[in-house]
Structure 1
């Protein structure tokens, strides 16, 4: 598990001022980098996805609903696979996971990161080859580690000395030799457009490089001889647009690899660079293409390996939200429109923080558009809010919508594929929305909407 949404409080925030908003004159326009690749406005002004009108989706599946452009997700997976042809690309299960998505990414040749027993169960139940699964987490239980060993998970990312001892004992009992990586905290904190080197690594993940724990962990694994230490793992954050942080991280982790070689005569064959590549939530965000990322990261690794006289290890990366995040938008229905004494107009929709907690939790910024029609009305600077009993229940802090937005209108919010459904809750006892995949003009339900019966089924009192 990577530091959850690391850097979000610094680089993924909404204190950008009005400059990031769409131009009021473009209130009906779709900014391409914000939307799934097959979303456009149809002849009647309503959004379509893969040729299917969102009004049909709303009628058939209700709102709120997460709408997944399946070909978009698959094409983004292929973009990373093709840009990194000799690199293992790990899809981030924590961003969003269900059996249909597991099958999609498996069919596109990707690997899969999981960070809990539930995510592992989902992956295995969908037929993901266990050898293509990596298991993250700072506090994996004995039961989780046992299942990982018994099912043949391809690699386990070690996160503590306790875990090393725990996994060593389990592997010795079973007579197996699992592949492991050591997660190294390298003292680089990534932000959206910059990084800072820290004097100490004050977080719950990984082994400190500066304090010597990472080297000690590697030596313990090698000296015990039970686990198969394949390499080192480094992750510097999420929603990263600048690869400068990776250069510092690679330099430090490869220096550790050289230290291990010199001390134990072992040159580790693998290196995981992490990832957490950024996506566009607003017009201010400008993510790099997979091809651009591949070129920069290869140059970094080649240079640092040459400096340490190391063979270039087999690489793996973790794009994070960059595959599923842009492939999904959330479709809402407007319930009320309220002008508060000329100070602000609140557009309330039928979802909110139960289906997208990121705005409340991380002060994240999103965009929105009127989805069921276009309008010639004057633009209105509005705040899109949810239905929950919290003043912080905000979906989109500021966005231009037509001044004639009214109850019954459909509103769509792009970029909700990552960390929205996976972090969704039943706050106020609201059932979680469905996930609807659309491809070639046809829709299919891949995660059904929860019902009140589902909620009551867990209540045994």
Structure 2
């Protein structure tokens, strides 16, 4: 018997796996309590997507509280175990920029993690959630005086400084207030992470961090990292904790982290010897990848932890130094796969597209439109990010067809999933679920075309509740003072 021809397969990118079972939920891409029920409908913690649609509407961000908490615990437990003999454990900072609301901040705190913030607004959420200042970190390459003062008032555990200019600002503001600022210096270790250019953060030519290499114009004969270290040691209003590096996001290879760890430990040793001090902390960043598609293979937290501990152990032994207290920032690896976005299918159309390298040969590309788009997930247009999707409201026995899931906005680049196999019988009214949308989707969402931002629901033990309400048209018009 000849194989069934799959519509549009000639247009599939080389990385996309061959079409398999269109009903399959690849475990790595979904929260641990997502499954198909006996009737073929997708459920999360026992709640069906049709019930979620009926209660909350679409588009809708659907988050598994249990999965979020389990991922948070897995990082804390794995790194504590791996580094127990070196420094007594690891401080794990959840990246508020990936997704933050008061409820999630409380989950983070209750699971023993700390919270990394990047703005006054994120600090406000932490305050509202009741997170104590010593458990908070403040990042950002251009913190305002108001943000720094707020951090000082809250007694932040650390302010991560990106430049010599900013370090002076923090020192002056702290001295004026008669307090001492806890400071880490962010360095650029020159490691190129294998990720999108806009989320690679450890190379020289970008806005973050202090260079090991480039001479600072304000400190002739010294690199920016050396000059900032000298000032941090000498400033009475600075409690110099140590160094920080973050090489990027959505990273799967371990080599970049290992190189960065060696460089930071070596520089820590150098500064400690030069000034006769002990720097008590070192942050090795994070940016660990998640599975957005079936080809992504994220590493288990325990595997990452053991590999990094081995590098730190060996490097400290070579340098003859004690390991500082380590901290990490797993970022999207905690929240990303805990969430999927639920859409309703609208219009469909199929066009004929010329196949690359085959003159005159065309193949069908099916466009499946949904009721959201780049306003609730801008990552595909910003970073060429790839996602996957499934028909969630039912199972299908039909053959797969290559499809492109697109949004409703007036932009040709409004693509949610560039290439995915969906069943031939996908139709208007079907519910589609896009996994892996917990990180940097709601956080980057916009009101483009005056679209209200969707709500976020948390599901646990068979019950769903709002943790962020969706916007209304009244919300959109509230700031418009023209009427």
Give TM-score scaled by structure 1 length.
0.94
Q: Where do 5+ consecutive residues of structure 2 fail to align?
A: 1-10, 81-88, 215-222, 353-362
Q: How many residues align?
A: 443
Measure, in 2, the Cα distance between the counterparts of 1:353 and 1:292. 35
Show the counterpart of 2:3.
none
1:98 aligns with 2:101: yes
**What is the distance in 2 between the residues matched to 1:148 and 1:200?**
28
1:178 aligns with 2:181: yes
Q: CA deviation at 1:114?
A: 0.3
Q: Which structure has the larger Rg over C-alpha atoms? A: 2
| Residue 292 of structure 1 pairs with residue 287 of structure 2 | no
Deviations 1:54-77 (A, max 9, x none): 100001000000000110000000
SS at match of 2:285: strand
Counterpart Cα distance in 2 of 1:204 and 1:349:
36
Q: Contact 1:192–1:242 at 8 Å: present in 2 too?
A: no
Kindly tell me: are residues 91 and 199 of structure 1, through their superposed partners in 2, closer, same or farther at Cα, counting changes over 3 Å?
closer
SS of residue paired to 1:148 = helix
Distance 2:26 2:186 in 1: 38
1:378 and 2:399 are equivalent in the alignment: yes
Of 425, 431, 452, the residue aligned with 1:410 is: 431
Contact 2:392 2:431 in 1 (8 A): yes
Is contact 2:188–2:203 with CA below 8 Å preserved after alignment? no
Kindly report which structure 2 residues correspond to 1:70-219, keeping only aligned pairs within 5 A, or say none. 70-85=65-80, 86-192=89-195, 201-211=204-214, 212-219=223-230
Task: Check the 8 A contact 2:202/2:248 in 1, yes or no.
Answer: no
1:428-451 CA-to-partner distances (Å, cap 9, x unmatched) read 000000000000000000001100
Which residue of 341, 353, 357 maps to 1:330?
341
Unmatched runs of 5 consecutive residues or more in structure 1: 1-15
- Distance, in Å, in 2 between the alignment partners of 1:373 and 1:246 is 42
Aligned to 2:272: 261
Root-mean-square deviation over aligned CA pairs? 1.7
1:417 Cα offset (Å): 0.2
Q: How many angstroms apart in 2 are the aligned matches of 1:236 and 1:368?
A: 29
Deviations 1:343-390 (A, max 9, x none): 311000000000000001110000100000011112111000000000
User: Runs of 4 or more off by more than 6 Å in structure 1?
Assistant: 197-200
1:11 aligned residue: none
CA distance in 1, matches of 2:470, 2:256: 40
Shift in Å, 1:296: 0.5
C-alpha distance in 2 between matches for 1:192 and 1:290: 19
In structure 1, how many angstroms separate the alpha carbons of the residues matched to 2:201 and 2:349? 46
